[in-house]
Structure 1
Amino acid sequence: MEFSQLRIFQAVAEEGSIAKAALRLNRVPSNLSTRLRQLEERLGVALFLRERQRLQLSPAGKVLQDYASRLFALQDEAEAALKGGEPAGTFVIGSMHSTAAIHLPAMLAHYHRRYPAVNLQVHTLPSGELVDGLLAGRLDAALVDGPEVSSELEGIALFDEELLLITEAGHAPVRSARDVAGQPLFTFRPRCSYRRRLENWFAAQRATLGPVMEIESYHSMLACVIAGGGVALMPRSMLDSLPARDAVSVHPLAAPFGQATTWLMWRKGMAGANLRAWSDGLRERLQLP
Structure 2
Amino acid sequence: MELLDLEIFSLVAKEQSVTRAAQLLQRVQSNVTTRVKQLEEELGVQLFSREGKRMTLTENGQRLLGYAHRMLTLAEEARQAMQSDVPVGKLRIGAMESTAAARLPGLLGAYQSLWPDVQLEISTGTTRALIDDVKASRLDCAFVAETDERAALEFNTDDDTSLAAVPVFREELLLLVPGRAGAASGSVAHFPLAAFPKGCTYRRLGEQWLESQHADAGSRPEIIEYHSYHAIFAAVSAGTAVAVFPKSVLATLAVASTVQSIPLTAIQTWMVSRPAYQSRSLDELSRLLPTF
**Contact 1:161 1:237 (8 Å CA) reproduced:** yes
Query: Aligned residue for 1:211?
Result: 222
CA positional deviation for 1:15: 1.5
Query: Aligned residue for 1:160?
Result: 170
Query: Aligned residue for 2:272?
Result: 265
What are structure 1's unaligned runs of at least 5 residues?
Answer: none
Query: Aligned residue for 1:252?
Result: 263
Aligned to 1:122, what secondary structure does the other structure show? strand
Whichever residue aligns with residue 240 of structure 1, its letter is A
**Contact 1:224 1:230 (8 Å CA) reproduced:** yes
Cα distance in 1, alignment partners of residues 221 and 53 from structure 2? 36
Aligned to 1:139, what secondary structure does the other structure show? coil
Aligned-residue sequence identity (percent) comes to 39
Query: Aligned residue for 2:139?
Result: 139
Whichever residue aligns with residue 41 of structure 2, its letter is E
Cα distance in 2, alignment partners of residues 129 and 37 from structure 1? 30
Residues 34-43 or 71-80, more deviating? 71-80
Query: Aligned residue for 1:47?
Result: 47
CA positional deviation for 1:205: 4.4
Whichever residue aligns with residue 157 of structure 1, its letter is P
Aligned to 1:230, what secondary structure does the other structure show? coil
What aligned pairs does 1:94-109 form with structure 2 within 5 A after superposition? 94-109=94-109
Whichever residue aligns with residue 279 of structure 1, its letter is S
Cα distance in 2, alignment partners of residues 105 and 143 from structure 1? 13
Tell me the alpha carbon deviations over residues 107-158 of structure 1, each in whole angstroms, 9 at most, x when there is no partner.
2212222222222101101010000001111111000112371432111101
Whichever residue aligns with residue 277 of structure 2, its letter is M
What aligned pairs does 1:9-158 form with structure 2 within 5 A after superposition? 9-51=9-51, 53-146=53-146, 147=151, 149-150=154-155, 151=159, 152-158=162-168
Cα distance in 2, alignment partners of residues 60 and 185 from structure 1? 39
2:230 is equivalent to residue 223 of structure 1: no
Whichever residue aligns with residue 235 of structure 1, its letter is P
CA positional deviation for 1:39: 0.8
Aligned to 1:90, what secondary structure does the other structure show? strand
**Contact 1:188 1:216 (8 Å CA) reproduced:** yes
Residues 141-150 or 48-57, more deviating? 48-57
TM-score (normalizing by structure 2): 0.89
Query: Aligned residue for 1:169?
Result: 179
CA positional deviation for 1:75: 1.4
**Contact 1:95 1:143 (8 Å CA) reproduced:** yes
